Structure 1
C-alpha cells in the first residue's frame, strides 16, 4: 500500500495512511458517517507551509518531480511502472538449487556406532536422530541429532539430545513442524520412561534438560515399562506420542499429547483393547492439519500377526469414532508397518512387509482410508526377503524404502521406489526403483528411513557396517523419477 501511496502526493498519502490504519466507511474516516465527521482545519495559515489539502503533486513525489521555479505544478503524475526486481538482490538458493544426488554422506561419528536412525526434512535440510553407542566400555547409549544440508554438507554438527548420563537411551524417533524439532526416545531405567526434547530448527534447544512424556492416565497412574515410541506433529506446536506399554492385560498401544514446552496435555489413554486386537507392538503415528491422528500397530496372535490401523481426533480420550481394522487380511505379516509423517492432500501412507518365505513384498496402502483396499506392491524381488520398510508422502504420492536379505546369507541391500496416487488415494502407477546399496555389509537392524524433499527427490537413511558395533548411519538424496 505504501508503494502505491508514495506517488500521489501528500493529501492522498494522508488519506491512504489513515485508511490503512483505521479504514473508511460511509464516506468518512475512522468509521464516520460522512457529514458528521467532516474535519475543519482551523490552524492559521503561515503563508509558507502547504496545507494538507493543497497541491497533490508537490510533496510526496521523488526528487525529480519537485515544483518548478515558476511555481507551476509538476504535471508528471504517471504511476511508477518499474516493477523489475533490484539487480543487487540475489535470491537465496533453495534446497532444490543445491541438491547433491550424486554422493552418499555419512553422519560424523562421535562414539563407537550409530543405531536406530530416523530422518525428517524441515525445508532446509534433513534432521537425523539416532542412538550413539559410546566408545567407552560400560557407558550407556545416548541419543544424538544432526542436520544435513541439501548439498550433503553438515548444517548442524552432531549434538547430544538425551540428558540422563546414567540411563541407557534407545529407540529414538523424531518429527518436525515449521518451527520445531521434536525428538522422543525410550529410557531404559527402572520405570521404563519415555522422554522428549524440542529444538529450534537451527539446533538451539528449547530446554536445558529432557522432559518426561510417559503417558499419565486419568486415574493419575503413570504407564511404566514402555518402549517403541513414535511421534507426529500437531498444529500449535503440539505433538502426539504413541508407544507400546506392558500392562497386566498384555502389551497395549498408548497415546499422549504434549507440547514444545514440555507439558503433557489432557490424559494418556489406551485406544484399543487387547481382547479384540491382541498384543499391540511396533506402533506408528501420523496426523494431518485437521488434527486427525492415524495410528498403526502390529496385533493379533503370535502365530498370525496382522497390521492394524485406526484413527482418532486429537483431544479425544477413546477411539470409538473409528475402530481399528486389519490393514491387509490376505497376507502373512513379516515385520511391522510405518506411517508417513507428512501429508499428501491430507492422506497418510502405510507400509509394511508380508508374505511367506523369501520373495515376499513391501505393501503400501492409503492408511487414511479405513478399509483394506488401495494396496500396491513395491518390491517383488526374486530370492530376497523384503524387510523393515519405511514410507514418505509427497504431493503426487510418495515413496517407500526397504532392505532385502538374500536367501543364502545375511547380506542386506537397500532399495527405494516411488509410487504415484490420485487425489483420492488410489494408486495410479509406480515409478522406477533405485538400489542404493548392494554391498554385503549394509545393515540397519531397525530398518531404513525415508522422507520427501522436493519433486521426485527423497532422502534415504540406512546403516553400514560389518556388525552393529561398527554401524555408521549413511544417507543419500535420490531422484526417484
Structure 2
C-alpha cells in the first residue's frame, strides 16, 4: 500500500481499530428470476385411476356414494358443514406463546470467550453472530453463529461461519431476508479484506467456503485495508455491504452490492468525498422494500466528530448530499451512529450518541428525513457517560439499547427504552428506561444489540465479563412497556 497519504484521524482510526480488535475483541444495482416448480407424479398406474384429463370434481361427486364395509350404499350425500377444528389437533405454538421474558440466556462456550456479538430476529428465533476467541494460544479468532428460540432454548447449535483458519475473523455483522441469513466480517489477513457467507434460516450453509466481497471499483482495483463491515438486504438473495476503507485521501465509506451465491454485482464505489465530510468511520446501512438504501457514518474531525447520513437508490453511484444529524443546537459532538434494519412505516431509525462527558444523551431520529432538525427522542442517565448500542424499529415505533459508565475504569451498565411514533414519524411518547444489567462489568465492543420481537417485547444482547478473555454473550427477551 502507498504511504503518501496524510496521517491524522484516519491513522488514529486504524490504530484504535487494531487496539480494540486485539484487546477486546459504476452503478450497483437489477433483478432476478426463479425456476418453475415442476412436479412429477411417480405413483404406479393401478388401472383404476381417473384419466388425467377428467374433471377432478367427479372424484368429489362420487366420494360419498362408495359402498361401505357392509355392502350397503351410503345415502348421506350432504356436505360436511362442520368447520370446527378437530379437538385432538393442537396448533403449533407461536413465538409469542413461548416467550420467556424472565431469564437471561447465554450461548454455549466453544473456546475461551465470545466477543463482538450482533443479533437479528427472524420470526421464529434470534440469530446471533459473534467472534469466538479460542483457548489455544496462537489460534486465530473465528466467527460463529447460533439461533436461540423464543423459549430461550437453542434452535441451532453454535457453528463456525468463517472458513479461513489461517486468518483472524473479526467484526461480524448480519442481516435477514425472508429466506436467507447474510453474514459479513473482516478477515485480518495481509490485505484486510471483507468476507461473507449465506445460510438458510435453519442454519444450512449455501456455500462450503466463505467468499470475498471486498469492493472492486470500476477501475478494477480492489479496496483492501477495510474494516467495520455492515450489511442490509435488498431482496431474498441480494445484499448491500457498507464498510470503512483506508485510502490515500483518508478513511472512506465504500459500498458493494452482492448476492447470496457469492457474486459481486457491478461496481463498488465511494459515495462521499473526504474533503467535504472528513474521515468516514463507524458505517451503518439499511434498505427498504423499494431498494432505497440509507447509510450513516461518523465524519468530521477528530476533535469534533459528526454523524452524517445519506440515501441512494439501487442503481445509483452518487448519493444525495449528506446532512449532519444535529439533534439539538447545543450538541456539538455526535458519535457511533446506527440504523435500524427493520422499518417503522417505511422509515429506518438513526440513533447516535450526542454530546460529551457524563450526562450526555442517546438520540434517535427518523433516518428518512434528509434534514437537520429538533425532531428526536433522547435518553440519558444522570452522571453517566452514554455509549450507543443499537436501535430497532417496530410497527408502533421502536426501541434503543445502550451502555453507560461512570468512568473509564468502572462497570458498564446496559439499558433499553421503547419509544412510540405516529404515522408521520413524529415521536409521541417514551416508556420508562429498563436497566438490564448493572453491578458487574458488562463489555461489548461496538455496544449492545437489539431487535423487535412482538408488541412491546424486544430482544437485547450484550457481553458480560471482567475482561475480554472472560466475556460471554448474554441475551434477554424483555417487555419494554
Say which SS state the counterpart of residue 275 (structure 1) adopts: helix
In structure 2, the partner of 1:295 is 295
| Residues 179, 236 of structure 2: 8 Å contact kept | no
Structure 2 CA distance for aligned equivalents of residues 309 and 301 of structure 1: 16
In structure 1, the partner of 2:62 is 59
Is residue 143 from structure 1 mapped to residue 143 from structure 2 by the alignment?
Answer: yes
Structure 2 CA distance for aligned equivalents of residues 411 and 333 of structure 1: 24
Structure 1 CA distance for aligned equivalents of residues 424 and 251 of structure 2: 34
Number of aligned residue pairs: 428
| Residues 115, 473 of structure 2: 8 Å contact kept | yes
Superposed, which structure 2 residues align to 1:53-452 within 5 Å?
A: 59-61=62-64, 79-319=79-319, 322-328=320-326, 330=329, 331-333=331-333, 335-373=335-373, 375-407=375-407, 409-452=409-452
| Residues 374, 426 of structure 1: 8 Å contact kept | no
1:157/1:302 Cα in 2 relative to 1: closer, same or farther (>3 Å)?
A: same
Question: TM-score w.r.t. structure 1 length?
Answer: 0.84
Aligned-pair Cα RMSD in Å: 2.5
CA shift for structure 1 position 86: 2.6
| Residues 353, 389 of structure 1: 8 Å contact kept | no
Say which SS state the counterpart of residue 233 (structure 1) adopts: strand
Structure 2 CA distance for aligned equivalents of residues 297 and 102 of structure 1: 36
Structure 2 CA distance for aligned equivalents of residues 176 and 223 of structure 1: 25
| Residues 257, 268 of structure 2: 8 Å contact kept | yes
CA shift for structure 1 position 323: 1.8
Runs of 5+ consecutive residues of structure 2 not aligned to the other structure: 1-52
1:79/1:336 Cα in 2 relative to 1: closer, same or farther (>3 Å)?
A: same
CA shift for structure 1 position 334: 5.0
Higher strand share: 1
Structure 1 CA distance for aligned equivalents of residues 304 and 123 of structure 2: 41
CA shift for structure 1 position 343: 1.6
1:137/1:312 Cα in 2 relative to 1: closer, same or farther (>3 Å)?
A: same
Say which SS state the counterpart of residue 97 (structure 1) adopts: helix
1:57/1:285 Cα in 2 relative to 1: closer, same or farther (>3 Å)?
A: closer
Say which SS state the counterpart of residue 469 (structure 1) adopts: helix
1:17/1:63 Cα in 2 relative to 1: closer, same or farther (>3 Å)?
A: closer
* Largest Rg, 1 or 2: 1
1:4-57 Cα distance to aligned partner (Å, 9 max, x none): xxxxxxxxxx99759xxxxxxxxxxxxxxxxxxxxxxxxxxxxxxxxx8xxx99
1:374/1:183 Cα in 2 relative to 1: closer, same or farther (>3 Å)?
A: farther
Structure 2 CA distance for aligned equivalents of residues 424 and 357 of structure 1: 33
Structure 1 CA distance for aligned equivalents of residues 157 and 96 of structure 2: 22
Structure 2 CA distance for aligned equivalents of residues 62 and 176 of structure 1: 52
Structure 2 CA distance for aligned equivalents of residues 168 and 423 of structure 1: 45
1:393/1:57 Cα in 2 relative to 1: closer, same or farther (>3 Å)?
A: closer
Say which SS state the counterpart of residue 187 (structure 2) adopts: strand
| Residues 178, 236 of structure 2: 8 Å contact kept | no
Runs of 5+ consecutive residues of structure 1 not aligned to the other structure: 1-13, 19-51
1:79/1:222 Cα in 2 relative to 1: closer, same or farther (>3 Å)?
A: same
Structure 2 CA distance for aligned equivalents of residues 202 and 58 of structure 1: 42
In structure 2, the partner of 1:4 is none
CA shift for structure 1 position 313: 1.1
Structure 2 CA distance for aligned equivalents of residues 300 and 268 of structure 1: 23
| Residues 389, 446 of structure 2: 8 Å contact kept | no
CA shift for structure 1 position 96: 0.5
